Amino acid sequence: MITLATPSDAPDRTALAKAVGVLRAGGVVAYPTDTLYGLAVDPQRSDAAERLYAAKGRDPSVAVPLIASSIEQAQMVALFGERELRLARGFWPGPLTIVMPARPVISTSILGGGTTVALRVPSHAVARALCEAFGFPLTATSANRSGHPPAASAADVVTSLATGVDLLIDAGPVKGGPPSTIVEIEASGARLVRSGAVPWERVLESLE
Concatenate the DSSP letters of all residues of 68-103 into one string. Answer: -SSHHHHTTTB---HHHHHHHHHH-SSSEEEEEEBP
Q: What is the mean pLDDT of residues 1-23?
A: 95
Per DSSP, the three-state class of 174 is coil
pLDDT at 163 exceeding the cut of 90: no
pLDDT at 208 exceeding the cut of 90: no
β-strand partners of 119: 66, 98
pLDDT at 166 exceeding the cut of 90: yes
Total domain count, the chain: 1
Q: Which CATH number goes with the domain that contains 7?
A: 3.90.870.10
pLDDT in tens, 88-134: 999 999 999 999 999 999 999 999 989 999 999 999 999 999 999 99
User: How does residue 35 score in pLDDT terms, banded at 50, 70 and 90?
Assistant: confident
Q: Alpha-carbon dihedral of residues 116, 51, 145, 39, nearest 10 degrees?
A: -60
* Residue 204 confidence (pLDDT): 94
* Residue 51 confidence (pLDDT): 95
* Residue 178 confidence (pLDDT): 87
Report the C-alpha gap between 131 and 127 in whole angstroms. Answer: 7
Taking CA atoms, 95 is separated from 5, 60, 104, 188, 205, in Å, by 24, 24, 25, 24, 17
Report the C-alpha gap between 66 and 127 in whole angstroms. Answer: 11
- Give this prediction's pTM: 0.94
* Residue 133 confidence (pLDDT): 98
User: What's the whole-number average pLDDT of the chain?
Assistant: 95
Report the C-alpha gap between 88 and 78 in whole angstroms. Answer: 12
Which residues are CB-neighbours of 24 under 8 A, at least 6 positions away? 42, 134
Q: What is the DSSP letter of 151?
A: P
Domain that holds residue 19: 2-207
Which residues are CB-neighbours of 25 under 8 A, at least 6 positions away? none
Proportion of the chain above pLDDT 90, given as a percent:
89
| Helix%, strand%, coil% for the chain, nearest 5 | 30, 25, 50
Backbone angles phi, psi at 151, to 5 degrees: -95, 125
* Residue 175 confidence (pLDDT): 83
User: How does residue 188 score in pLDDT terms, banded at 50, 70 and 90?
Assistant: confident
